[in-house]
Amino acid sequence: MVFFGQRLLKKLPFKEIFLHPIVRDAHGRKMSKSLGNVIDPMDVIQGISLEQLHLQLLDSNLDPKEIEKAKTGQKQDYPNGIPECGTDALRFALCAYMTQGRNINLDINRVQGYRFFCNKIWNALKFSMTYLSNIVNSSDSLLGNESPMDLWILSRLSTAVDACNKAFGNYELSVATTACYNLWLYDLCDVYLESLKPVFASGDNEAISAAKHTLYRVLDCGLRLLSPFMPFITEELYQRLPHPASIPRAASICVAPYPEQEVYCFKDESIEKEVEFVQKIVHSIRSARSDYNLPNKTKTDAYVKCMDENLKKTIVKFKCSITTLSNCNTLELNDAPPTGCVALTISDKCQVHLFLKGIIDPEKEYGKLEKKRESLITACTACERVLSSADSAQKLPQEILEGYHQKYVQTKGELDHLVEAMEGLKKME
């Protein structure tokens, strides 16, 4: 290509070349037929059973002894075969692996995780379409009556657009995939779409109009951000997304303009800090509900004891979103919460008291948590024994030791959280 360009056109066909790392298996080994760890992209896209993987070895020119060795490797790595992941998930995974390292340790489980991410995007659009079927005209500017959550998601959208454009400019594909992943999964699906449910049920036409305007903008921009990594699902959803007549629409998402920071300039750090504090409250309440085994249909009352006026204003401002996301009946600012509450510390200036009296049996729940505590202590002790052993450090691979360390940190965190929950139950008795 270079020689033909120089000869026929008197110029180079390109000025920059992007070199990607070598793709290895999940254990960091170079792919080899004799090891049975060669991954055919078509098998990842379409899926394949373990028996079919074995049959592929019989069609190769391997020695019978090497075939048996390869079968053992395949059975160890893919006991249930390779699940169908699709083209978009594989492309997204490979781009997400593009860090500054020289190797890509391709783990099929991670590719499958991105297939589930595709399902999440599809369901998010399907859910949103119930509200956008009669979308009003939209524009690139704000309407002026957006709710705090509308402004927050637009700020997060602006952050994602800026991160993706800078990442492409620096050839940091993993940064762009992370920005898209966080926007769709953690910001849009986990928070914003959930916070919209009471808005669309309220009957407030102005609030509904602003929510539709914001939701359309986030979906349209989010699909175009994701298009280079997942062209097939984004094309399908882009064609299904109802486009207002007031906005020019490209025939295909492939030729639609990529979002630019100059258009999506809604960054607001102050409101992002407020929602970050709100999410701490929501996470604490939801964790407590999980610890005390409260079903989703059981709603509780929450009382907030706060000593900071700015934080009080933030809580009042996002009161509806907090009650929706934490599955509470009510949320009140109260310096003297009633008895029968469990205290949850949010910060040194804020506490949430979750009313559980009459909802749970403290003695029964304490017994359940005590059994769980014993099992967590056993797991922690086992991890500590492996990590502190000199033989383990010499004989076990580094990745196995890292797995034990991660398990220890996670289990220790669960144990500390469980002890706090048990102390709360003691105070209720």
What digits encode the pLDDT tens for the residues 47-98?
999 999 888 888 777 788 888 888 888 888 889 999 999 999 999 999 999 8
**Does residue 372 surpass a pLDDT of 60?**
yes
**Does residue 361 surpass a pLDDT of 60?**
yes
Higher-pLDDT residue of 292 and 324 is 324
**Does residue 324 surpass a pLDDT of 60?**
yes
**Does residue 392 surpass a pLDDT of 80?**
no
**Does residue 100 surpass a pLDDT of 70?**
no
Longest pairwise C-alpha distance within the chain: 88
Rounded average pLDDT over 226-232: 97
pLDDT, averaged across the chain: 88
**What pLDDT, on a 0 to 100 scale, did the predictor assign at position 199?**
93
Q: What is the pLDDT of residues 174-194, one digit of tens each?
A: 999 999 999 999 999 999 999
**Does residue 368 surpass a pLDDT of 80?**
no
The fraction of the chain above a pLDDT of 70, given in percent, is: 97
Q: Are 163 and 175 in contact (CB under 8 A)?
A: yes
Q: What is the pLDDT of residues 2-59, one digit of tens each?
A: 888 888 988 888 888 888 888 888 888 888 777 777 889 999 999 999 999 888 888 7
**What pLDDT, on a 0 to 100 scale, did the predictor assign at position 223?**
97
Q: What is the pLDDT of residues 245-273, one digit of tens each?
A: 777 789 999 999 999 989 889 999 999 99
How many angstroms separate the CA atoms of 198 and 233, rounded?
29
Higher-pLDDT residue of 335 and 170 is 170
**Does residue 133 surpass a pLDDT of 80?**
no
What Cα–Cα distance (Å) separates residue 381 from each residue in 74, 284, 393, 396, 397? 33, 27, 17, 18, 20
**What pLDDT, on a 0 to 100 scale, did the predictor assign at position 195?**
95
How many angstroms separate the CA atoms of 292 and 355, rounded?
12
The fraction of the chain above a pLDDT of 90, given in percent, is: 47
C-alpha 255, offset from chain centre = 28
Q: What is the pLDDT of residues 142-173, one digit of tens each?
A: 778 899 999 999 999 999 999 999 999 999 99
Q: What is the pLDDT of residues 399-414, one digit of tens each?
A: 788 888 888 888 888 7
pTM of the model: 0.83
